[in-house]
Amino acid sequence: METHLRWTKRPNRLVRLLVATLGGLSLAIGITGGAHADPTPGEIEKQIDDKWNQIEPVIEQHNQLKIELAANQTKQKQLEAQIAPLRAQVDAAFDKVSAFAVLQYKNGRFSKLDAMLTTGSPDTFIDQMTMLNMVAKDEQDKIKDVLVAKQQYDAQKGPLDELVAKQAEQEAAMAQQETQINADIKNLNDMRIKAYGSSGGTGNLRPVACPFEYTGGPGAKAAQVACSEIGKRYVWATEGPNTFDCSGLTLYAWKQAGYTLRHYTQWQYDDTARVSRANLKAGDLVFFYKDNHHVGLYVGGGWMVHAPNPSQPVQMKKIDSEPISGYGRVA
């Protein structure tokens, strides 16, 4: 059984990383506000991009933890559902033994003290115990297979219960940072509005035809869907239809084309086939940075549609504008 034990320690470090990152983000915002009374758009964009590249990997890891926790909780419920009827059979069998013991006691034939006092010998008591043991053994033999199955399920469920408890604690710790994340994102947006105004975009979000090229098939459908989402807001850990994060956008676009992707950039990298840049076609995924923490959907002509960060809506962008780590084909 896959239990993702690698999560038992790593999220604690991620929480500390997130706190440190957000602390640095707040500091940078404060310093920038004091040092530059009127920062240039280029300066603001660089700060936004740099800081978001620090935050996004943590958010993607948080997405992964939430999905794995939900999967393990489902396994936990399934095991409990399998164990419950077995437990009921075991309990029923031993209830019979218990009922027999009570009956013997009430009839005065199963009192150790009574046996010792009335006979002057423990023989009566030993006879009663022998009978009770025979009844217990008979009941146990009847449910031998049930006992074995229950023990096997219990052996699986014990470690899973511990893992779920740890993951739930880790996820709660990361979730507590959401308020701080939202506050710092608001500061980023305030900086952006000051630099660019309140138009909701930094220039033309769709500078060329989107998709730039049409090749037919499910990839073209996914590209068309991604293009139709241009202008919608970035909200981390969302996958549409009104807001997206980077892997949520690619997941949503391909879902409309009839294919399922998982909501985590590394999983999408793992689940897609590697292709070369020369063979890219509309609908392929483009991954960025060494840890694959960002992804966009290729729409042809060197362009992609992606959900960049909370300071910018879904938009087109040249794929060479960020460090590429690989390309993936869904279908």
* Catalytic residue positions, numbered: 246, 294, 306
Long-range CB pairs of 57-60, under 8 A, 24+ apart, other chains included: 57/289, 57/291, 57/293, 58/14, 58/17, 58/18, 58/21, 59/181, 59/236, 59/237, 59/245, 60/247, 60/264, 60/265, 60/266, 60/293
Residue 229, both tokens: 């989402």
Do 279 and 298 touch, CB atoms closer than 8 A? no
Whole-number Å distance between alpha carbons of 56 and 28: 17
Query: Helices (DSSP H) in the chain: which residue ranges?
Result: 10-35, 41-106, 112-119, 123-142, 144-175, 178-196, 217-228, 246-256, 265-271
End-to-end CA distance of the chain: 29
Whole-number Å distance between alpha carbons of 300 and 2: 39
Residue 222, both tokens: 């996914």
